[in-house]
């Protein structure tokens, strides 16, 4: 049985741990699926390539209002799929090949679990292929997986999740999406822009319920004008035949479509590792970690979706940097262990309109007892928004009355994920909103003026001379 210094379970952010400081370590890398993890293979990267193509198609459909008459002759879906995976698949294969060629690394291409904790403190692991090995340190980076409600899984209806929907053979004429979160919002945009009729089945009344109310309400309003939304419905069963699927909802109605996408959420994979045999605490699949990404078992770290409520690649990347440092420190040496920073974590939904958020929602700020002001500034208030003929975009900012600091920012509209960055930066470095507004130039007539104007509306002009500081 092989002995390793480090075992890494999962090759998403887990695969970025090894640098030149690790060349003398014997490392086991365990991957039951494709190298590269969710982001590269079935998540952020391919979805955004589809979203971009969808945006191009949408722009063409909308071009007449800019005085440019155009029409789409056809969407070559197989070419879109080839473009995306022709680029990504070789990266995944190359990543695996690189690891296999590293003299200090052994790859276990199979599901890997804990077997026991050895007397010397190392861990015993085994794979579904029958391999057994031990490791002194373990990094759990096993990610998360799409969930499928039992009513769907059990009725035998053919369905896709985000793992498979990007490789279907043609654009569906009619796609039904169960769920209303970010995966649903992104694929509804992709398929409707490329020509599908889209039906969304929601348990509640709004899409993107995790976002600030203003975003949630306005996005749902826009969505309901483009897509057929069946709200307050639960799926109770369904069936498939050669021509598609029939879903039965709990109000007695049915939905017939040629393709079904289930987008009801993701759960962390910590329940699939027999982690209790190592003393790693897991709750509903989520591996518990402290601020140093240490699990409850000595010398076992975790990072990314398996241990994070964020399920965001930029958070996983940060945690991987933390673990990369901490693996090389003594387990208890908190003077030298690097803590993870989970403050001001932004997120985006690459639907149409695009959405980006950071910090507290208005409801969260209220619940936390802050005294604050909010401002909703429309894209159409600034010159770039005029040029775009934008009628739905806005930036909503929340500023603390007591400190003048930003508590949250929520943007829906073109390039929301870009124009939010100065707000993320201000929050991360404690820059007061009024200083942010007037202490820098904002290019006229660029899109970030919508942020500038929102800040000014909240803060007004700073006094001159400035109040004396002590």
Residue 421 CA: distances (Å) to CA of 99, 347, 361, 425: 35, 11, 17, 6
Q: Per the structure block, which two tokens stand in for 23?
A: 């060349």
Q: Least distance from C-beta 17 to a second copy, angstroms?
A: 13
Nearest to 228 by CA among 194, 269, 196, 262: 196
- Is 444 a known active-site residue? yes
**Does residue number 253 form part of the binding site for a second copy (CB under 8 A)?**
no
Which CB atom, from 2 or from 64, has the smaller least distance to a second copy?
A: 64
- 8 Å CB contact between 208 and 220: yes
Q: Least distance from C-beta 299 to a second copy, angstroms?
A: 19
Q: Per the structure block, which two tokens stand in for 380?
A: 């159409």
Q: Least distance from C-beta 243 to a second copy, angstroms?
A: 25
**Does residue number 335 form part of the binding site for a second copy (CB under 8 A)?**
yes
The side-by-side arrangement of strands in the sheet containing 235-241 is 235-241, 244-249, 254-257
Using the rule CB under 8 A, which residue among 164, 253, 254, 425 binds a second copy? Answer: 425
Alpha-carbon span 407 to 207, nearest angstrom: 23
Q: Per the structure block, which two tokens stand in for 246?
A: 């029939």
Using the rule CB under 8 A, which residue among 25, 83, 174, 203 binds a second copy? Answer: 83
**Does residue number 239 form part of the binding site for a second copy (CB under 8 A)?**
no
Q: What is the DSSP letter of 467?
A: P
**Does residue number 158 form part of the binding site for a second copy (CB under 8 A)?**
no
Residue with tokens 């879903």: 247
Q: Least distance from C-beta 233 to a second copy, angstroms?
A: 32
Peptide bond into 465 cis (omega under 30): yes
Is 373 a known ligand-binding residue?
A: no
Q: Per the structure block, which two tokens stand in for 263?
A: 């987008």
Q: How many CB atoms lie within 10 A of CB 373?
A: 14
In sequence order, what are the residues at sequence separation of 6 or more whose Cβ sits closer than 8 angstroms to the Cβ of residue 16? 317, 320, 324
**Does residue number 87 form part of the binding site for a second copy (CB under 8 A)?**
yes
Q: Least distance from C-beta 424 to a second copy, angstroms?
A: 5
**Does residue number 383 form part of the binding site for a second copy (CB under 8 A)?**
yes
Using the rule CB under 8 A, which residue among 144, 157, 300, 356 binds a second copy? Answer: 356
Which CB atom, from 44 or from 288, has the smaller least distance to a second copy?
A: 44
Is 394 a known ligand-binding residue?
A: no
Which CB atom, from 264 or from 311, has the smaller least distance to a second copy?
A: 311
**Does residue number 72 form part of the binding site for a second copy (CB under 8 A)?**
yes
**Does residue number 318 form part of the binding site for a second copy (CB under 8 A)?**
yes
Q: What is the DSSP letter of 224?
A: H
Using the rule CB under 8 A, which residue among 442, 453, 454, 458 binds a second copy? Answer: 442
Alpha-carbon span 328 to 324, nearest angstrom: 7
**Does residue number 464 form part of the binding site for a second copy (CB under 8 A)?**
yes
Which CB atom, from 63 or from 118, has the smaller least distance to a second copy?
A: 63
**Does residue number 51 form part of the binding site for a second copy (CB under 8 A)?**
yes
Alpha-carbon span 74 to 160, nearest angstrom: 24
Q: Least distance from C-beta 437 to a second copy, angstroms?
A: 11
Q: Write out the binding residues.
A: 48, 179-186, 265, 305
Active-site amino acid positions: 444
């Amino acid at each position: 049985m092989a002995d390793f210094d480090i075992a890494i379970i999962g090759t998403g952010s887990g695969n970025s741990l090894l640098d030149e400081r690790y060349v003398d370590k014997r490392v086991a890398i365990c991957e039951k699926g494709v190298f590269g993890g969710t982001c590269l293979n079935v998540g952020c990267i391919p979805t955004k390539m589809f979203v971009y193509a969808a945006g191009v198609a949408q722009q063409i459909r909308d071009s007449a209002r800019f005085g440019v008459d155009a029409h789409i002759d056809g969407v070559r879906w197989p070419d879109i799929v080839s473009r995306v995976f022709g680029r990504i698949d070789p990266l995944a294969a190359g990543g695996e090949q690189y690891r296999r060629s590293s003299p200090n690394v052994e790859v276990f291409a199979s599901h890997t679990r804990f077997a026991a904790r050895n007397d010397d403190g190392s861990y015993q692991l085994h794979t579904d292929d029958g391999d057994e090995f031990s490791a002194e340190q373990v990094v759990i980076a096993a990610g998360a997986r799409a969930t499928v409600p039992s009513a769907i899984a059990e009725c035998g209806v053919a369905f896709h999740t985000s793992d498979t929907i990007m490789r279907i053979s043609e654009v569906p004429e009619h796609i039904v999406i169960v769920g209303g979160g970010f995966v649903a919002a992104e694929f509804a945009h992709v398929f409707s822009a490329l020509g599908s009729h889209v039906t969304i089945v929601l348990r509640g009344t709004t899409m993107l319920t995790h976002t600030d109310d203003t975003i949630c309400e306005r996005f749902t309003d826009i969505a309901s004008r483009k897509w057929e939304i069946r709200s307050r419905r639960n799926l109770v069963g369904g069936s498939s035949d050669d021509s598609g699927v029939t879903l039965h909802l709990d109000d007695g109605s049915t939905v017939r479509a040629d393709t079904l996408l289930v987008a009801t959420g993701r759960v962390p994979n910590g329940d699939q590792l027999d982690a209790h045999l190592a003393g790693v605490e897991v709750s509903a699949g989520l591996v518990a970690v402290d601020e140093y990404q240490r699990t409850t078992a000595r010398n076992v770290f975790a990072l990314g979706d398996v241990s994070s409520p964020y399920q965001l690649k930029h958070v996983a990347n940060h945690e991987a940097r933390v673990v990369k440092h901490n693996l090389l420190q003594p387990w208890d040496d908190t003077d030298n262990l690097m803590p993870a920073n989970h403050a001001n974590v932004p997120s985006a939904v690459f639907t149409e309109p695009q959405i980006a958020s950071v910090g507290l929602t208005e409801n969260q700020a209220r619940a936390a007892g802050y005294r604050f002001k909010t401002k909703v500034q429309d894209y159409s208030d600034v010159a770039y928004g005029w040029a775009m003929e934008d009628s739905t975009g806005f930036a909503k900012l929340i500023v603390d009355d007591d400190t003048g600091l930003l508590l949250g920012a929520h943007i829906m509209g073109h390039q929301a994920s870009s124009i939010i960055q100065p707000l993320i930066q201000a929050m991360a470095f404690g820059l007061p909103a009024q200083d942010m507004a007037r202490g820098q130039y904002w290019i006229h007539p660029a899109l970030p003026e919508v942020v500038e104007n929102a800040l000014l509306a909240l803060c007004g002009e700073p006094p001159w001379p400035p109040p004396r500081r002590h």
